[in-house]
Structure 1
Amino acid sequence: MESATGPPQPVPQQSPAASPYGGSPVPPARSNGSPGVFGRKRKQAEAEVERLTVELQRLQAEHARQGSEKNALYQQLSRVQGEEAATLVVDTERLRASYQEADELLLAKIDRASDQLHQALASERQTYDDLVRRAADIQAETSRAQERLDQLRGQVVHTEEAAMLQEAGIYEYRHPLADAVAYKSALSTLKDQVKTLARDNRAVLAATDWHVNGSLSQGRKMVRDFSKLMLRAYNAEADNAVRTMRPHRLASLIDRLEKSRQTIARLGATMHIRISDEYHRLRVRELELTADHLAKQEEEKERRRELREQQREEERLQRELDRERSRLDKERQHYQSALERLRASGTHDSAGAAELRDKLAEIEASMAAVDAREANIRAGYVYVISNIGAFGERMVKIGLTRRLEPMDRVNELGDASVPFRFDVHALIFSEDAVGLERKLHEEFEDRRVNRVNVRREFFYVRPSEVREALERFAGQHLLEFREDPEAPEWRASTTPS
């Protein structure tokens, strides 16, 4: 191969007698007075050789010219690289100087910032020490105030109903009886025991050796009069507690009565006058029975309201069933008459007759479904509704209706008692709607809004959580569920004008 920079080498010339295809020279044609076929071919080959020789020389000259240009380019490239290297060295030195200057400025700034930080830390430490000393003073004052509060707390009766509700929580019966009548009977017996203790002078205990002007009888009379006065004060407090009793205030009123007893013991300490333990226990038990009696009355009243509501609901359902049965019966008579007229006409309209028979079959199936709904008291619709405008996004109502048109019940719930209509997330028909409703209530029992009245079916639950529970319990009955409430009235009311 030729060198990239060397001069081109001359190509050896072939002799005219050489074969254009290589090999031994072509022998001359025989001369017999006229050129033959081989003579003509030889001349053509020689002409071709000459042409190729000229072309080869031209290519060699072109190759030599390109080599000269390449050498010139190599030299120019070397010169440019040298100049760029020198420029790069100068730029590097200049950048190194700039970086060194920037480092010095940065170090100076860091030193200044460090000094300022140390000064700020020293100031903060001083402030912290002051706060620690102030906290110690406040802690000492708090301890003294707590001691004083404990002293006052022993003398003051808590009467805030909100605090009592939080402490008492759900009211629990202390003397569970069957009904309010049983509580009333127990209260009557208890009051007789209280009167017996008062008549037998066992309600108040006092000293028996008290002397007045050296007279024991006058001393006994004085002690007896003071004892009656103290007992009247104690009974007045107990009777007032009975009259103002509310179940959630039971602990507060018992505490008040106990404080009254302690006050009587303190005021009558000179003559050892005090309310007997037996009498005090009877009055406390009277308060407990009274609270239970009131709670039982309210429970029975609520049960009666619920029973009346259930009866009204059943009456509405019965009216709906009767109307639906009447409507279906009219339609059945209509189609039955049409079918009989068609048969009586003698026409052979088999298609019309088949259509009438199909309608009659549908009506019979509908009437059978109505009869089944009337017979199966557990069948109905379980509804999941919410009212974002009234209760927020984290509250739903899970209830049951047995009406043929369940939206009638939903519309009733969204009447004037709430500012906006309810949004329906799901309506699930089930042959055992009562069981499905109970399962859902048990699933979210710990998030029930009203834990006293379980017939208030509101829960702190998002619709998506109810959907997950329904997918487990309802299964194939859950055909449609809407998680996001539309709430058109609320959204239109809250949209700025």
Structure 2
Amino acid sequence: MEDQVLVVIFILFLALATTIYFAFKLRVRLRAIELKYSKILDVDLEVEKSREEKDAIDQDILSLRENYKEKRILFERIVKEAAIYDEEIQLAELGFYKPHFDFGTSEKYKDEISAVKKKQKELVSSDKAIFCTTEWTVEGSKAKGKIMTNRGIRLTARAFNNECDAAISNTRWNNVDRMEQRIEKAYDAINKLNQSSAIIISNEYFLLKLKELRLAYEYAEKKQHEKEEQQEIKHQMREEAKFEQEADKAFKEEEKYNKLLMKAKEEAEKATGTKLESLQEKISRLHQELSDAHEKSERAKSMAEQTKRGHVYIISNIGSFGENVYKIGMTRRLEPLDRVKELGDASVPFVFDVHAMIHSEDAPALENSLHKKFDQQRLNLVNSRKEFFNVSLIDIESEVKNISPEAEFIETAEARDFRESLNIISQREKSQKMSDLKKVFPEEI
């Protein structure tokens, strides 16, 4: 009986020991799992913590954005203020100048500038340009106060006038708006500095200074335009003189062939046999040359008499200027292609291709109408004498057909020199690639 009890106790002991052993192993495993996933056991806590961190970061971003916006506004203001005085800042974002006057000649501008300066002197003389709104006393004396006020007015006038004169003398096409703002800034700054002394530059005087600046600038521009017009007139006079010379030359050439023909006929009357045959051939040739010379003489005479007659040409130079860039020009020469050859001289790397050569009784009018039509497509928006346009040939052809239906167009630019140059470059590149390839893969290893 005791043995049975002992066996039961031993079995229970083994069961208990086994249970304890497995319980211990489970506890160790559980501990390992707790250590491994301890950071994410409390999901809600982690989510809340992450949300708080996100809110803090969002707030920082918002603050940074607001701070950046303020600094950007300050930066733009400083740049604009600096641009007023800095000649190196080209074309600052202050807008393009719009003309304020429309006088026909530079002399009109000059007269108006004199009138504006006269008004300024009248304002100064009548104490309406710069004045003091307070009657000051110094050491109880109004006379001393008046002396102090007059000194302040003179100093103000000198400072403002010097600033205006500097702005006016330095005004150029690319800074006229900045010079206007320079005067305006000087006006505001000096008046602000004089607030304590109650000395004021009048708005009327300030506006007259602005008007003087604008007149001076537009006067200079008008002078330049008049100069260009004079150059164009001189160019036209030279062209007309050239036509007269060509006409004279053609007439003399016709006379020469006429004399040679008469001489050959006289010799033929006395000749016989093979000499007569030779002279007859010569007479036939001279008849043709005389006919050509007469036609050339008539054309030259006509061109000299009617200087509006000429040719409007449409040409391109893909190698020099790229696709869809065309020059629309005019020439009065008897041989219009001579002008195209001149344009394709050493100043450009490739020759021009001719797309149209339009004969017209009034070539200047035809050229002018085409220039006006495509004015918005000019490459050079400042100098209208640069006759290059970024436009398709189809558009040019359509406009020309409206004016001159018989005009003929060559649709495709040959650009032979350019395309052959590209081919040479391509061959060089292929040769170089082959050379490089040979270096990578030698003939023998």
TM-score by length of 1: 0.64
SS at match of 1:283: helix
Amino acid at match of 1:244: N
2:113 to 187, 193, 203: 187
Q: Which residue of 2 aligns with 1:162?
A: 90
2:353 paired with 1:441: no
Distance 1:132 1:382, change over 3 A: farther
User: 1:280 maps to which residue?
Assistant: 206
**CA pair 226-359 structure 1, distance change in 2 beyond 3 A:** closer
After superposition, where does 1:409-428 map in structure 2 within 5 Å? 409-428=339-358
- Alignment partner for residue 310 of structure 1, among 226, 229, 236? 236
**Which letter maps to 2:366?**
L
Mapping of 1:78-477 within 5 angstroms? 136-137=62-63, 139-149=65-75, 152=78, 158-159=84-85, 162-163=90-91, 167-168=95-96, 172-342=98-268, 360-361=290-291, 363-477=293-407
Superposed displacement of residue 293, structure 1: 1.0
Deviation at 1:492, TM superposition (A): 5.8
Question: Matches of 2:146 and 2:328 in 1, distance apart?
Answer: 70
Task: Call closer, same or farther: CA 1:341–1:431 in 2, change over 3 Å.
Answer: farther
Q: Deviations over 1:203-235 (max 9, x none)?
A: 212133223333333222222212211111101
* Contact 2:299–2:334, Cα closer than 8 Å, also in 1: no
Partner SS, residue 163 of structure 1: coil
Relative to structure 1, the CA distance from residue 303 to residue 489 in structure 2 (aligned partners, 3 Å threshold; closer, same or farther) is farther
Once the two structures are overlaid, the 10-residue window that deviates more, 186-195 or 289-298, is 186-195
**CA separation of 1:345 and 1:487: change in aligned 2, threshold 3 A:** closer
Separation in 1 of the partners of 2:244 and 2:423? 38
Deviation at 1:470, TM superposition (A): 3.8
Give me the whole-angstrom Cα distance separating, in 2, the residues matched to 1:297 and 1:315: 27
Cα separation, 1, equivalents of 2:109 and 2:342? 37
- Post-superposition offset of 1:356: 6.7
For residues 433-480 of structure 1, give each alpha carbon's deviation from its aligned partner in whole angstroms, at most 9, with x where no partner exists: 333323322332221223333222111124454344444444334164
- Is 1:414–1:422's contact at 8 Å kept on the other side of the alignment? yes
Give the partner amino acid of 2:330. Answer: L
Identify the residue that residue 100 of structure 1 maps to in structure 2. Answer: none
Which amino acid in structure 1 is aligned with residue 95 of structure 2? Answer: E
| Farther-moved stretch of structure 1 (133-142 vs 261-270) | 133-142
8 Å contact from structure 2 (residues 327, 387) kept in 1: yes
Partners of 1:268 and 1:494 in 2: CA distance:
74
The residue type paired with residue 260 of structure 1 is A
DSSP 3-state at the match of 1:162? coil
Query: Are the aligned partners of 1:464 and 1:483 in contact in 2 as well (CA < 8 Å)?
Result: no
Identity %: 30
| Unaligned ranges ≥5, structure 2 | 1-50, 429-445
CA gap of 1:166–1:380, structure 2 versus 1, over 3 A, is farther
Structure 2 letter corresponding to 1:412: E
Residues 152-175 of structure 1: CA deviation (Å, up to 9, x unaligned): 57865535663259821xx55423
Amino acid at match of 1:178: G
Please tell me the residue identity of whatever aligns with 2:370: L
Q: Is the 8 A contact 1:384 1:396 kept in 2?
A: yes
The structural deviation recorded for 1:340 is 4.8
Aligned residue runs from structure 1 range 44-59, under 5 A: none
> Match of 2:127, SS?
coil
Give the TM-score, by structure 2 length. 0.70
Q: Which moved further from structure 2: 336-345 or 312-321?
A: 336-345
Q: Cα–Cα, structure 1 residues 304 and 434, in superposed 2: closer, same or farther, change >3 Å? A: closer
Alignment length (residue pairs): 368
5+ residue gaps in structure 1? 1-125
Offset, 1:283: 1.2
CA deviations 1:104-131 (Å, max 9, x no partner) are xxxxxxxxxxxxxxxxxxxxxx9x9999
